[in-house]
Structure 1
Amino acid sequence: MVSGHDPLALAEWQRIRRYAVPQRMITECAAARQRGDQRAAWTAGRIDVTDAFAELTTHLAPDLLRWHLPRALGGYTTLAVDQRYVLVPAGAVIDPETEVPVLDALSSMFGSQRLSLGTARWGELNPAEVSLLPAHLWDARHADELRTAIGGSAERAPGFTADGVPLPAEALGRGNDPASRAERVRLAPTLSAAFAEAGFVIGDEPGVPWPGYPDETTMRSVDPTRLADHVRRFARQFGMNTWMLWLGYPAYLRCDVDGDTVRVTPQTAGGHRYSATRGLPRLLPDLVRYQVDLDLIRAGRITPAEVHPIVRAALFPGVPGSAVVPAPVTGLASAVDRASVAGPASAVVRDSAAGLASAVVPASVAGPASAVVGDSVVGGSVPSGVWGSVAAGSVSAGASDLVAEPVPVVVVGAVRVRCRGEWHEIGVRLGRLDLVTHTDTERQRERALSAFGGTVSGCFAAEQAWHGAPGRLPRRLRAHREDLWQLMIHGGTRTVLELLDAGMDPHLRDSRGRTLMHRIRSFDHSRLLPRLLAEGLDINARDKEGSTPLYLAVVHQWPAGLIIALTEAGADPHLPNQDDMSVIDHCDEILNYHEDLDPDFEAAVAHLRKRSA
């Protein structure tokens, strides 16, 4: 339950808030909106928009949309997959002929985080197969309605003062305003009591305890107040009075609307009920959960300053507005113990020419808990390591009208490693390690020893683990690696090219020993692949399981164009992995028995076979 009492869930959402909507995206989208340049906002928000959609609406805030979209979770910060969303305009009455904006989510959590928006007639969509996004989740003009949707009053959000200060436990639920009522919903001892407090009529047998659910965590994360708001809102707009909240097969909540009355009935979809429910419009639990930003703030994991500025203004009307939100600097990664590494609060002075932090300003100068925005120091906090920046260099095609906002990078500095009975320092910058304590002669000797099968230790063992060999990495090195990969995943091809221009090691590997070549599906391969080859990256590099990029591409059915590009670049389909399975083996033993393969993918495999013959 994301309620401030589940540290693991909150740690996961803290990482999502840190990386998933980059500060540069927020800044550039805001600047484009201010100029009235909607297409520039779409470009900054990494959203591909059809001409039909462009004519349908000009008020989409891509960064706001991304902030609210459901996430894959389970250790991933990427977007939830296999979802189709309808962006519901505020107040519009939707009939079967109404053209509505449609967002198709990604098919893989490992793919590019670019989004694509189009349109469809509502009557052509199956209400049971789409999820509806109310306007306050994507239209900046209506963002303030978020506070009302979660039960807030005109003055404050549930659990907080108007200026974002958490209320003490003894003050929760004490008043008669909507926010106090929403607090009582959260404090209710049972699910049925919570729904009753939120204004639902409990259906069928009100006195009978609700059944257990396949996923209790999902059920208890649902905000009854928010659910009631969505059900009433959509019933008015779509003229549909029965809605389903799926909680994992076979359990669901049936919500029936009659005027302002909403009856909720816990049900299962077995037997005759399953066929009766197949056509009912559905609601997604992730879109009616308790607002996670409030839980993160109450738990002390983020501050109001780190919430998206549009969302912050909606949740905390008493907080003075600002044009930008401070860069999220609440920790290198969820696994990092800030207190043990960071030392006293400090702030970064940005060196835009060098692309790294040029100085650290003591807290007494910068003010308590400070962070970098542009060239000024504002509210936030600085963790272990400090935030630097990489000056914008390679701007993506079609993005020439974007603001030149630098890419923030954690500067770790030196990492201490136990080596030969002493503490040695390893220098770290943009994925490159420098064994500063050791001479060139020592490095050559240790690397020769390793090449002949000898065992290395200390600094050299850390260096080997960094480059994909088995072994343990110091925590701060793991955090630096995680930071770079998260920045690239959510910043896209543009960010990767800028980091490479700034000197990032192109041979950087992730925790599974995978290189940028292994993870190229997340980016525009037409731009990145030539650069990686020019940097000397091996097209046949092996990860810790012995898999090559081409093997992953075929096994996971990557886009056909990418498979062909890897083949043309010299990828070898005969190289076996640790299970002695090659690409050709996979094609012969597995793909030959598939009857539902995409025609483009089949053509790419045929091309691969022909080239390898």
Structure 2
Amino acid sequence: MDWVRPLHPSAVPAWMIERATQRRLAGDWRGACEAAAVDVDVDLRAIRRVHGADVADEVEGDLRHLVPDLLRWHLPRGRPGGLLRGGAWFPLALFPDGHALAARPPVWHDRPQRISVRFHRIAADERGGARDDTLMLLRDRWDARCTAELLARSGGVTRLPFFAPDGQRLPDDEVAGDGPEGQVELALEVGGQGRHADAWAAAGFDLEVLLFRPEWGPDRIDPAAFDRARTDARDTVVNRSLAGLRPVHTWLVEAAHRTLARVPALRLVEPWPSEPPRVLPWPTEVDERAGLVRIDLRGRCLVLDRLDSPRPRARLVSRLPRGETDEDRERAEVAAFGLELARMPRMPFVLARRPAELTALLRGDLRPDDLHPLVRAALFPERPPRPPAVTGPLRDTVRVRCDNATHEVVIHDGTFTLPHPQAEIDRERMVEALGGGVQGCVAARDGWRDHTVRMPRPMRRLRDELLTRVWHGDGPGVAAALDGGIDPHVRDERGRTLLHLLPWLSGADLLPRLLAAGLRVDARDVDGETPLHSAVAHGSPDLVRALLAARADPKAMSTGRHGRVAAWTERPDLGFLRQLRR
């Protein structure tokens, strides 16, 4: 989740941010979530009745300050299309008796890009995928009250290190100066030269390499790192051990305090009596009273202490392999720290590493205007607001290879104009009737509406540009493409029409427009499914009712491996379909 790159314009489009922001600022958090395609399954009355007023008020406060478009922006995405990646769920906040307010992306990448937010009990056999605590630890990625924390996590007070408040990159002779930002810049520059141990010193830490027993073998500890007679080798190993962390050192003190404060909060999250002890995967047997925090590295760890002193300390120590115990080692740990390493609160790695936004900006992978508006305002408060990019029409001219020439195929008002006389087109049809395949300009036109015809590559790219807007759910973006003259009768590689794909689209009601353009309400895809099949599987009740009003056949049977009638469903919100099955 720490990989940041520019999003596709349709992933979190400008219209979505604008509509969600207007409703959120007006106090309509449900409307804001709906504008950002976030489904909220939270019953505040039931929470108040079962869990009490305090829990209900806290949940409602989190929902009122939830920025759903910012949540969508920061959820992890997969390659190459940048769609939301499933396989994980993200607790936003924990509550007593084993409950959490959690966000879940779609389970599969080929499902509508809607996010669900639920208040539910964390079950011992949780089947929603792996748990990712990033959003619970970094509330600036979804909570309007915390967006300014990203600047602090990046080591800034009045500006982002290496940047002016207006977003301009500072020249080299103006960095590493006085002030907190200058200290961060110096430490990051030193660390960038591979001198990671010196970077800790530049940031104001005392870095120590702790020696337990020199005779331990290399399977437990690298002797070169702790042989005082081999200073060069020791420094090399220490720098190599620290290389993978790359923190903003000055933030680590605050991160350590948050880690210590989090331990009592986790202890309050007790499982229900009917659940086994493993219901909560967060370790709560740690001891935060000593004021020690550890950061796990590869084969080693850093122990932070003296957190409230002018010069905190970081001690690099080895770790025993997972699952192994050693009484001599445990006694040595107790003698050095007062308790074993295993009982020290562990700082989550996402709090220890520098923010991905800072790294991407420094590398040039991101520009300030590529950030979400709230993030840009937090990092660059003096940067003038940039008008949001509006998703415009697609190109209306495609150049394709046709025989030995390159021709232009023009798409205007939903029709194709080919640079060929009718006699040449008829000749292509004759070849097709004899069992051949159409090519060039004719294939470009026919393949748009018939998925079995292989289109020239430039035409496939145009179709992919349109369908990318569909997969991301950018309804106004698709409407803009249609306004620009794109033929609405396109089919994807599974033979689905835009009517089939309506459950993916939000922000615009395209059904009347597509029906008026002549799309058949009972068109079949490769599995014999109609748009009603798709709506029943993935769409809203309103979309199902609208298709039925347009005379979609509720008894249409698909022809795939597991054929089904369009109206067959167990969804409780589509109970009105039951009477249509008879």
TM-score, normalised with respect to structure 2:
0.60
* 2:472 match: 490
Is the Cα contact below 8 Å between 2:474 and 2:505 reproduced in 1? Answer: yes
Instruction: Indicate the residue corresponding to 2:157 in structure 1.
Output: 154
Report whether the alignment pairs 1:326 with 2:388.
yes
The equivalent residue for 1:28 is 19
SS of alignment partner, residue 428 of structure 2: helix
Given the superposition, is the C-alpha separation of residues 296 and 133 from structure 1 closer, same or farther in structure 2, using an over 3 Å criterion? Answer: same
CA drift at 1:23: 0.9
In the TM superposition, what are the counterparts of 1:439-450 in structure 2 within 5 Å? 439-440=421-422, 442-450=424-432
Distance of aligned partners of 1:265 and 1:51 in 2 relative to their CA distance in 1, 3 Å threshold: same
Kept in 1: contact 2:447–2:453 (CA 8 A):
yes
- For 1:115, the aligned partner's letter is I
- Indicate the residue corresponding to 2:442 in structure 1: 460
Cα-to-partner distance string for 1:515-549 (whole Å, 9 max, x where unaligned): 4466455358xx8789867743475644xxx5444
Q: Residues 194 and 451 of structure 1: is their aligned pair in 2 closer, same or farther, counting only changes over 3 Å?
A: farther
Change (3 A) 1:46 1:84: same
Residue 439 of structure 1: how far off its partner (Å): 3.8
Q: Which amino acid aligns with 1:450?
A: E
Instruction: State the match for 1:313 in structure 2.
Output: 377
Relative to structure 1, the CA distance from residue 283 to residue 264 in structure 2 (aligned partners, 3 Å threshold; closer, same or farther) is closer
1:536 and 2:568 correspond:
no
Question: Matches of 1:489 and 1:289 in 2, distance apart?
Answer: 32
Find the partner of 2:408 among 402, 414, 425.
Answer: 425
Counterpart of 1:101, as a letter, is L
How many Å apart are 1:137 and its aligned residue?
Answer: 1.1
Listed as ranges, the gaps of 5+ residues in structure 2 are 45-58, 213-219, 226-241, 268-285, 300-319, 326-343
Counterpart-to-counterpart distance in 1, 2:187 and 2:121: 38
Choose which of 130, 146, 150 in structure 2 pairs with 1:142: 146
Query: 2-side partners of 1:444 and 1:209: how far apart?
Result: 80
Residue 157 of structure 1 contacts residue 179 of structure 1 at CA under 8 Å; is this kept in 2? no
- In structure 2, what is the Cα distance between the partners aligned to 1:290 and 1:95? 28
Task: Return the offset for 1:21.
Answer: 0.9
Shift of 1:67: 1.5
The answer to whether the 8 A contact 1:308-1:325 is kept is no
Residue aligned with 2:437, SS: coil
Alignment of structure 1 residues 502-521 onto 2, 5 Å: 504-510=486-492, 514-516=496-498, 519=501
User: How many angstroms apart in 1 are the aligned matches of 2:391 and 2:170?
Assistant: 33
Match of 2:115 in 1: 115
| Partner residue in 2 for 1:70 | 76
Give the 5 Å matches for 1:578-593: 582-584=561-563
Q: Which amino acid aligns with 1:19?
A: S
Q: Separation in 2 of the partners of 1:541 and 1:451?
A: 23
Between Structure 1 and Structure 2, whose CA radius of gyration is higher? 2
Q: Could you say if the C-alpha distance between residues 43 and 281 of structure 1 is closer, same or farther in structure 2, counting changes exceeding 3 Å? A: farther
Give 2:419's aligned residue: 437
Alpha-carbon shift at residue 37 of structure 1 (Å): 4.0
Task: Give the deviation of 1:22 after TM superposition.
Answer: 0.7
1:43 to 10, 34, 39: 34
Q: How does 1:148-297 map to 2 (within 5 A)?
A: 148-149=152-153, 151-166=154-169, 176-182=182-188, 184-185=190-191, 188=194, 224-225=247-248, 228=252, 232-239=257-264, 259=291, 261-266=293-298, 291-294=355-358, 297=361
Structure with bigger strand share is 1
Asked whether the 8 Å contact 1:156–1:179 carries over to 2, the reply is no
Offset, 1:300: 5.1
Deviation at 1:24, TM superposition (A): 0.8
Distance 1:435 1:98, change over 3 A: same
In 1, distance between residues paired with 2:470 and 2:398? 23
1:448 Cα deviation after fit: 5.0
Distance 1:264 1:82 in 2: 25
Residue matched to 1:83: 88
Distance in 2 (CA, whole Å) between partners of 1:456 and 1:141 is 59
Tell me the amino acid that sits aligned with residue 96 of structure 1. Answer: P
CA contact (8 A) 2:411 2:485 kept: no
Q: Which runs of 5+ in 1 are unaligned?
A: 3-8, 89-93, 211-218, 243-254, 274-279, 328-406, 577-581, 588-597
Give 3-state SS (helix, strand or coil) of 2:473's partner. Answer: helix
SS at match of 1:117: strand
Amino acid at match of 1:411: L
Q: 1:424 to 1:105 in 2, by over 3 A?
A: closer
TM-aligned CA distance change 1:187 to 1:464, over 3 Å:
farther
Q: Secondary structure at the match of 1:415?
A: strand
How far has the Cα of 1:107 moved from its partner? 1.7
Return the letter of the residue paired with 2:139: A
**Are the equivalent residues in 2 in contact too, given 1:201–1:261 (CA < 8 A)?**
no
Could you tell me how far apart the structure 1 residues matched to 2:108 and 2:442 are?
Answer: 36
* Alpha carbons of structure 1 residues 223 and 471: separation in structure 2 relative to 1, 3 Å: farther
Name the residue aligned to 1:338.
none
| Aligned CA distance change for structure 1 residues 221 and 207 (closer, same or farther; 3 Å) | closer
**Which residue of structure 1 aligns with residue 311 of structure 2?**
none
- Alpha-carbon spacing, 1:48–1:434, altered in 2? closer, same or farther (3 Å): same
In structure 1, what residue type is equivalent to 2:261? Answer: R
- 1:367 is aligned to none
Contact kept in structure 2, 1:507 and 1:516, CA below 8 Å: yes
Does the CA contact (< 8 Å) of 2:470 and 2:501 recur in 1?
A: no
Identity %: 29
Distance change (3 Å), C-alpha of 1:24 and 1:600: closer
Tell me if the contact between 2:176 and 2:183 (Cα under 8 Å) persists in the aligned partners: no
Instruction: Tell me if structure 1 keeps the 8 A contact 2:151–2:379.
Output: yes
What's the CA shift for 1:120? 4.6
Equivalent position amino acid for 1:454 in 2: G
Does the CA-based 8 Å contact 2:113-2:471 persist in structure 1?
A: yes
The CA deviation at 1:146 is: 0.7
SS in 2 for 1:107: coil
Specify the code of the residue in structure 1 equivalent to 2:466. Answer: L
CA distance in 2, matches of 1:32, 1:59: 12
The residue identity in structure 1 corresponding to 2:441 is: C
In the aligned structure 1, how far is the partner of 2:498 from the partner of 2:107? 20
CA contact (8 A) 1:201 1:263 kept: no
- 2:410 is paired with a residue of what secondary structure? strand
Verify the 8 A CA contact 2:38 2:116 in the aligned structure 1. yes
Give 1:111 shift: 1.6
Structure 2 counterpart of 1:146, which letter? L
- Partner Cα separation in structure 1 for residue 224 and residue 60 of structure 2: 49
- Please give the residue correspondences for 1:566-585 in structure 2 after superposition, counting only pairs within 5 Å: 568-569=553-554, 571-574=556-559, 582-584=561-563
* Alpha-carbon distance in 1 for matches of 2:352, 2:482: 40
Could you list the per-position Cα deviations for residues 69-98 of structure 1 after superposition, in whole angstroms to 9, with x for gaps in the alignment? Answer: 222x1323222213322224xxxxx76269
Question: Alpha-carbon deviation of 1:309?
Answer: 1.4
One-letter identity of the residue aligned with 2:115? L
Residue correspondence of structure 1 range 315-354 to structure 2 within 5 A? 315-317=379-381, 319-322=382-385, 325-327=387-389
